[in-house]
Structure 1
Amino acid sequence: MNEKLHAPGGPQFPRRYGRAGTIAGISAVLCATSLIAIPSANAAVPTFPDNLVVFPDRDFVTIEGYQDRVGQTGLVEVTRKGAGVVGSAQGVVAAGDVAFEINHPGGYCWGAGTGLNVTPDIRPGDVVSIKFNGAEAGATTVQDAYVTEHSSLSGTTLTVKGHAGANVNPAQMEQRIVEPALKDTSVGRRDVRAVPGPLTVENGYSSSLTFGPDGTFTATYEFNDAATAGIAAAASGERAMAWEVEDADANRQGLTIAEFGELGGPGMGGCPNGPLQSGPAGPTNVKVSKTGSDLKVNWTPAEAIPGTPAISGYRITAVGHTRTGNEQTETGVRVSDPKAASTVIKGLRSDEAYDVYVVSVSAAGETFPAVPFIPETDTTKPLVTASPNGGTFPTAQELTLTANELGSDIFYTLDGSDPIGSGGVAAEDANLYKGPVPVSASTKLTYAAIDPSGNVSDNGTVEFIITNNPVPDAPAFTGAPVAGKGSATVSWTAPNPGAEGLTISGYTVQAYTGNGAFGSQKKVAGNVTSLVYDGLDGDTEYRFTVRASNANGDSPESAKSEPVTVQGEVVANAGPDQSIVRRTTASNVTLDGTGSTATGATYQWRQVLSNPTDPDAVNLAGSTTLQPTFSLPVYKYPMTNKPLTFELTVTAGGGTKTDVVTVTPIPDRVTAQGQWKSRDFRVDGTSTVVGGTITVRSGGPGGAVLGTAPVTAAAAPGTGGIFTLRLRDGNAPAANPGTIWIESTLGGTAGPITVVNK
């Protein structure tokens, strides 16, 4: 079960950070310099509307978009060079701008669904990625940019200083000061911002962002009045924003928002602590056996949480139950070996009961809290198993011996003699098993084990015959398996047959589920390199392996294939996702469920809406057929261009399955500029498409309509469309509206746009 944060409040943030798709009245200020994306190696930056936004100071991640995967579970991982995965969590994609969040009120905790129960200390250079069914669907490399000093005020001039690493593109940075009180000043919004370049005039202030040769940046703000400057200086919301890619619509992809002075997120809302807040990870599988006055303690060595100090050893303590006043006896040992797995505490009272504590030790301290273990008296002899359990093999093998009791010592001999002598101790010529035993020639081994309490297992014998005749190389799969109803088709390449003159005589394919091997093996002839593996359970994920055979024997088993989910008796296939260009009239769209179960099935389509009044709702005709239709209407506020999600439910033979498909409206792109003087108001702009109608609103989305204008073809050599709205005399606004919002019937939007005085 995925643990989620339930804190009801918490700071809120805009969900889009580029020019296109902005909300809450926030738009990007673009610099005139050319924008050069600096992608990181092996990290595919998401494409708008998908995005991974990282707030490293609070170890908080927002996953935006991914509306083609609503209802699917995404795995988010934080990977650090040289340390591997240092944090992970699973979350289910919800409908809306924000798919889900991690370590933020209402979101998921780090460790949810993954078992890595630690809140990572996210740092510059870390890569935050999201995967679905094992395939990466986007990644953000945390940018090395942050504020280093609180803002400094001199008169009406405010400066903010910070750091910008060598891998940060200065053209893809912005510095902001967030203070809601600024909305009631001449600024008119909750923040001020500085972008690269010289001083640029904004409402109530001018700003610039410059960079030094030593990896520093300075944001300078010149306010129009001292009172506003004082409000900004008293704010504590200085941020440095840097992004990896900026697309043609100025959407900021792979975004990092560093917040000066914010505390780290570990422990938030009951989530796991940070990597150093609970000391090192403790050992596992601890077993304590009492033999006379000794306690033998065994454990599985601990592994340090990625990104934390290495484990240097262990502390093992026995605490007696008997109290003398307020005191209890305590006896223990310190083991300075991180790979140690056992010790003996000697000289204890045989008539006393003890609790035993085993903790790891590192530079970060000791495991906290320590968990007590109660010694037990063991009279059951251990059981030893061998793998492989002997046989005839064409090549050398490795023998693995495993005892079912932790801490057991396994001994073996090669001459058939008893490995355990009289008195329950190892025979003089016995070998202590320390790891897999190489078997390169025909050999017979006898083995037995002694558990921590001195119990001795029965002897076991395993015999190998090694022929050393060449066998084929392991085959390799060609692509992922293809799902069928109760089956999957797997294909592979023919390997080296082993030696000149030898041929592949056949192949053996084995199916696997998460529980191990499934069913019996399937065999095909040596001239066949594909197989329809039938008899599989529907709606179950499988992987496969394949072996090749020649006259001498079998090849090694191949690596497992990519996973595939086999279709069940009922198949729901809602068809491929679509992108539909918005037009001047409603566009007819047909959904396609023809890949679904056909015989005796009923169908039900529905649109997945964010709420009952979702403005993107459409009328779905033929919702009980395989190919329903709907009209994608021309754009009108409060409609959006978010993907429309449709769910198909198929019912047949008493079973039901569902599948979803998305239809994404593609809008035109619009720009505009506004001018005002007394009794004269004018808005000029462009559109990438001719034929739409532009609506000009005051303020932002949903503001009062000031007027409309058609988009006509631009004069040659220009391309696309242009529009002009001009209002004179009594039709013009009595005062400068300040900002305007532009929306096209073809879906394009722009703004808020500052209206300048002529």
Structure 2
Amino acid sequence: MTLTGIAQAGNPPLGPGNIEIFPKRDMVALEGYADQAGETATVTVSRNGQQVGIGEGVIDATGFLEFNHPGGSCWTGVTPNIQGGDLVEVRFSETAFTDGAYVSSAAITEVTHSDFAATDVEGDVEGTVTISGTYGDDFGTRFSLDRFVVEVVNPEMRRPDPSTPPTLIGERAIGWTPVVDPAEPNGGPGYEVTGTAENGEFSVTFSMYSAADAERVLDGEHVVTSWMADAGELALGNSLYEFGEADGPGFGGCPAGPASQAPVPPTSVAAVRSGTDITLTWSTPAQPADANPIAQYRVAAVDTVTGQEIAVRQPANPGENSAIIHGLVADQAYPLILEATNGQWSPVVQLGTLGADGTLTPWVDPTNPDTGGGTGGGGTTDPGDGTTDPGTEEPVAVAPSAFSMTRVLAGHESVTVEWTAAQPGSATSPVTGYEIVATGPAPADGTAAPTVTAQVAATATSGTVPGLTNGTGYTVAVFALAGELRTGGTAANGVSAEVTPNDVVTITRAQYRADKREYRIQGTAADTTGNRVHLRVGTVPGSGSVIQLNVPVNADGTWSVDLRNGPVLPSDNRFTVVSDSGAGLVAAMTRSR
């Protein structure tokens, strides 16, 4: 047995492997797992025993892997809204142990700044920055104020811009802890720091000896860090709450968070026919954690003679729901459909056809008749005594059930598709995987249109096709596989299968200081070839007051804006970013006074 095969596991990890969690960005980083280099790591996020997120990626040669960060792996299907109290666990493909860490409840709620008149007295305070926040009951159990630090990080505090006044600090990061180590007291050159942490609240004030340093502390990154255990220099099970960071997916192509996704609709109903009426009953299915609740249903009977729908909209109840559709033709059969909305409409669910006699016949995908029956022949088997048993037939292979594509996202030289899970056609015909096909435009010479494909696992409900050309239109299809049988997914209502890959921009930091109209914005762009981004206030790209234009995208894909005396930010705190390569984004700013 190898040493890695008997590695110990822990919650928090025992080291050298460690789990770091960034709840504001829904990001998780694995570090120190060099013994698992090359293995597939499966990371789950759970809340009260219910899984709310899962992702997979390969540990690199240094033992590192991160989720929901540029260059890292994505969460699968939905980006979990990571919160205090959640449990993050990691398992490996070839090493039999599980590490875990809980997410700390500590969070920053406010950052404020005050100026004071300068004097000639050495060590006088010329500005303060106060960082306030809260923590929960997990302190005293999983966490402790012995392992709690409020920090400000800004490289300008060590090496300021030559055009600005010199710094008295000389460090890129300064902090405060409620339990003081005599060897490392709070405070330092150029500043004092005081604070309190009690009864679930903390407040920390940095008093700076120069106004310029007070500005640098205000402009820095404000972080509260807490961890579950110490192991030498390692802070095991570390949670870092970063004030001002943007919530949600970390880069283009990753799935949206639960509050930005369409609901999971019911897939079956009970139908009772009485003359010209149909009474439908169904139950609201469980929704993903943090998803918006279903607000309304729409059920309809489709008149195949007139081509019209007889529809009813029904407010959603948490449990059982019912609706009556009136005005049907007594001797006519009607296909039934259902969809749900939580602000976004779900895929349309084909419930089947209700006959005049009240019998509900399951729906059959017209593009794949095998979804309603089977392929292959029957036969007899030999019971072993030289005779045949005509009562025992070979299993019939059945294609997977119909399913819907719920989201098609253009990425940089790629496209990402999400879908509802297809169900096995029968107990002996499991879903074995999915194939995503992106078909480009047909060449002028009449040859076949080029296609790019990607295969994903049977458990997946999303996948990405790389290797596409930006600016070129593609038609996307997803097929559920059961061996050699396949069922094509249909685009849900409002979802287009036509997509054009393009540049993708993201926001990683967005802060606005109202009293000086200062903007501190950082982000990424996927296209790094001579690309620029342009920022304006408001929600309509290309309009609104200019924050800054022609911001260059660096070779690593990052870009930043550092601006004073900019335009007044609207009260909704929204601004737009567009790139030369055609990407656009509306985002929210964190406002401070």
Larger Rg: 1
Q: TM-score range by the shorter chain?
A: 0.3 to 0.5
What TM-score results when the alignment is normalised by the length of structure 1?
0.38
Higher relative CO (Cα under 8 Å, sequence separation at least 6) belongs to 2
